Amino acid sequence: MSIDVSMQGRVAVVTVNRPEVLNALSSELLEELLAAFRGLADDDECGVAVLTGAGERAFIAGADIAELATKTPLMARRYSEHGQDLSHLLETMRKPTIAAVNGYALGGGCEMALACDLRFASTTARFGQPEVNLGIIPGWGGTQRLARVCGLGIAKELIFTGRVIGGEEALRIGLVNAVADPVLDRARETATLLASKSPIALRVMKELANRALGGDHSANLDAEGDTFGELFSSDDAKEGLTAFVEKREPVFRGT
């Protein structure tokens, strides 16, 4: 296995452990990573999932190019579908996901980071979508999520040129939430904070926020209002409001 999963409290850390090839994602490794996150998505003991890479050189350097070069068009399409499945899961699973980017996050690695709810970068982090240099395009959501996160003009410049940027520039353009060393400690700190919040509130906020850049604005606002009212029937809402009145810390149970 090249995927390590560790739990500390309600925080899971998923580490891509293939440092000899900068944690590049082969088809087999991609399947392992997808299986790991599917397991965490269904695990009630996990409140927040953090994705990172082993070693200091790379988060995920992208696809395994040696393997990619052997694929037929049909095989490449299936590979894209598997990467899309994983990025979609990171984006939509019913708990927050955080990328702790500790080195190269290129191609598919950048796309996996973009699919997470929050992204933290080390000072040595490097981001890019260099597929154009190989005569191909991003296949795991890069043309779409990069524009949603950073704006269309910046996204086009990065995917058209294949330029690689550092953590500070990534912060300036809104690609990451913060730059910190050691980055995994920063990600764990935020994950622990989120894991103390109401799982129900986090889930519905994630669902609503994911709709913000698509669909009808009025309908999205209506959905927010409807959900706001519905949550008042939850035990978590009653606990949170009562704890505030009683001047104590709430204990949320996700019901």
Known catalytic residues are 111, 131
SS3 at position 54: coil
Amino acid at 61: A
Q: Which residues lie across from 12 on neighbouring strands?
A: 7, 49
Q: How far apart are CA 195 and CA 217, in angstroms?
A: 30
Joined together, the tokens standing for residue 229 give 């009212």
Tokens of 71: 């694929």
Per-residue DSSP letter, 25: B
Measured between alpha carbons, how far is 186 from 182 in angstroms, rounded to an integer?
A: 7
Is the link from the previous residue into 250 a cis peptide, with omega within 30 of 0? no
If phi > 0 it is left, if psi is from -120 to 50 it is alpha, else beta; for residue 247 that is left
Strands 178-179 and 48-53: unpaired
